Amino acid sequence: MMNIRQPQKYIPAVFALITIIGYGLLLPFTGFYWDDWPFAWSARFLGPSEFNASFAPFRPFLGPIFYFTTSLVPPVPMYWQTFALVIRFILGISAWWTFKQIWPERPRIALIAAFFILIFPGYSQHWVAFTHINQELIPFIFYLLSFGFTFKALRAEKPTAYIIIALLLQICGIFPTEYFFGIEGLRFLFLFSIFQGNPIQRFTKTLKVWWPYLLIWALNAAWLIYYYKFGQYASYTITATQSFTLLSLLQSALDALWKAGFYVWIQVLSLTFTSLPAPASLLTLGLVALSFAFLTPYLKNLAQENDTEATPAISLILIGILGILLGRLPSLAAGLPLTLQSSYDRFMISMMIGGSLFLLGVIELLFKSNRIKTYIFALIIALGIGQQFFNANIFRRDWENQRDIYWQMTWRMPALKPNTILLTHQMPIDYETDASFTAPINWTYAPNYTRSDVPYLMLYTEKRIGGSTLPALEPNIPIRFIYRTVPFYGNTSQAVVIYMPKGGCLRVLDPSQGDAETYSRLPAVLTDAIPLSDPSRIVTNAEPAATPMFFSEPKHEWCYYFAKAELAQQIGDYQKVISLGKEAASLGYQPTDQNEWLVFIKAHALTGDLSTAESLSTAALAKDVREVRRGICSTWKQIYAQSPARDKNEIKQILLTFECSPQ
């Protein structure tokens, strides 16, 4: 048991404990997200060296970081989530060491600032581990340590080695990604804040120390200008300066200050109170309370070891404000929004230092009692822990949703012919794009892939239609798509259109089944693709059938029986469709989307059981007449067309009963 009466001795252990509680409690239930998938697929099938070529057109200095880490860590979700925990701990310790170099006479301030950075609640992207460890966290650690070695050099008898280390770390922090382009100004502010004298003397002293770092910064600026304007930089497009007005810049500045300096620290209260009594919210608030109960006595004992110099509250606030604004510069220049609880809050990482120091300065300015400040610091850290746990639960649910999607894909499509495009307008999931889905689809359906053309591609028509990748939803249009460094070649006539509604099951849309009419209420970017759908590209009798990687098979509930029934319908095995429907009903499973009854209605009717088909149709219409009527009518029209002459009069009467237009 940790002895809180010796707080200094156990500081690394407290960093480890906060890291585990904030980021690690749901670690076994999280996985890959967003760009993690293409990166992991590339590491698995193309090898670590591929990242150097992959990043050459944009962020070329990021490739070596990916090469190094992927050479160490296999592309397995659990390994990368664990690695993220280690990197996060190193980040916290690095911040602590750096702030101790800047403020050696203020160890309490240095520690609290590092705790704030460790749990900074504005940055929710920790669990997109494969991407953000390499793209942001490791360069950020380099930059933090560069600051630290700069100040270590100031107090060293032989500073040259430390200056060289600081410059090398600056290069490793600023060149891999443009995220940290603005925070070099913090080094100047830190230096200016510690020097004595009048402003001119302090500026002169600061510039004397800062000029080598300024030179590196200028070289990086020149590099970015070259790559953006004259090179082959294929990342974000810089927005022209004249597109900003003074008012828009002021609004962006105030937005960044409000979010990074104030709101992110308490947003967990807003998120949880508005979703009570959801279990996740109750667990989050409980974790906040437990963390506060642990941290308070520890920080009380720490507060007894007073800083030997007064806290420069105003200086912290000013550095914090400028740090937030400098951190916002790169994303603002790219015209990208700063929205919380989305992938865009990754830009908060460059505002971590500014946001943490600003809040710390405000607390130090407003409260003089160490006892009160202790309670506030403990509460702020506890709220940060709660926010990160809340975020972890979002990613846990996303991982479960991914599992359901990939298993439903393989239940419905046991294998796919090479060069198949999966088309849909979007998927009901937050953190994955069509490029994200392309990697696991290839991993699933081509597990023995060796370097060649990519065999499968997913495209979101909502985003791609009319662009160079998907010019139009018309037959026989060649499709070429470069996936990282390997190409996909296909054709719009080699497509399978899929659809997965929120709360419903994944389905293959088939023009021969009347799906264009059934789903005509959906967006045109989906329904216009249905005529392109060719279910014959699904290999229905594959042995062995494809199985998703990293996901254990979920319990067989309604969507399993629906997927297998739709597959059986595709091969004309209507008795199996009926058998699957009866088994699902016997287990108490029913659809939430009434259109999922259509496959069973058709099977009963075409095997001569018109009475059951009519009963199922009536029940579906009773539950959701608006959404299901088109599908019911379309299905019965197909039944009429495919039924023997002896049944046609009865089917005509059923069509009239359901108020369906005649043939």
> How confident is the chain (663 residues) per 10-residue block, as mean pLDDT?
60 96 97 96 96 88 96 97 98 98 93 97 96 96 98 94 98 94 96 93 96 96 79 46 74 94 95 91 96 93 66 92 94 89 92 97 93 96 97 96 97 97 94 94 96 96 92 95 94 96 94 91 94 96 92 96 97 96 96 94 95 94 86 93 90 89 67
Where would I find the H helices in 337-485?
352-366, 370-412, 434-445, 461-464
What does the longest C-alpha to C-alpha distance in the chain come to? 104
The phi, psi pair for 505, rounded to 5°, reads: -105, 155
The phi, psi pair for 417, rounded to 5°, reads: -70, 145
Q: How many residues are there in the chain?
A: 663
Q: Under DSSP, is residue 63 helix (H, G, I), strand (E, B) or coil?
A: helix
The encoded tokens of residue 579 equal 């058998």
Choose among 460, 453, 504: nearest CA to 631: 504
Measured between alpha carbons, how far is 441 from 449 in angstroms, rounded to an integer?
12
637-645, Cβ contacts within 8 angstroms, sequence gap of 24 or more? 637/514, 637/663, 638/513, 638/514, 638/602, 639/601, 639/602, 639/605, 639/606, 639/613, 642/606, 643/605, 643/606
Q: What is the pLDDT of residue 455?
A: 97
**DSSP string for 329-354:** HHHHHTT----TTSGGGGGGGGGHHH
Measured between alpha carbons, how far is 260 from 353 in angstroms, rounded to an integer?
10
The encoded tokens of residue 584 equal 């699902």
Cβ proximity of 347 and 336 under 8 Å: yes
Measured between alpha carbons, how far is 234 from 226 in angstroms, rounded to an integer?
12
Q: What is the pLDDT of residue 660?
A: 87
What burial letters (b/e) apply to 102-121, b meaning 16+ CB within 10 Å? bbeebbbbbbbbbbbbbbbb
The encoded tokens of residue 432 equal 């994955």
Q: Model-level pTM?
A: 0.92
Q: What is the pLDDT of residue 238?
A: 44
Tell me how crowded residue 4 is: count the other CB atoms within 10 A of its CB: 17
For the chain, what are the domain ranges?
11-231+250-397, 413-554, 568-663
The encoded tokens of residue 200 equal 């001119």
Choose among 165, 209, 204, 169: nearest CA to 187: 209
Tokens 């600026």 belong to which residue?
221
Measured between alpha carbons, how far is 557 from 505 in angstroms, rounded to an integer?
11
Q: What is the pLDDT of residue 510?
A: 95
* CA-to-CA dists, residue 366 to 117, 270, 313, 317, 557, angstroms: 21, 24, 9, 12, 57
Q: What is the pLDDT of residue 328?
A: 94
Measured between alpha carbons, how far is 166 from 10 in angstroms, rounded to an integer?
28
Question: Strand 495-499 vs strand 420-424: parallel, antiparallel, or unpaired?
Answer: parallel
Q: What is the pLDDT of residue 240?
A: 40
Q: What is the pLDDT of residue 554?
A: 95
Measured between alpha carbons, how far is 289 from 381 in angstroms, rounded to an integer?
11
Choose among 474, 432, 484, 459: nearest CA to 63: 484
The encoded tokens of residue 454 equal 């990519």
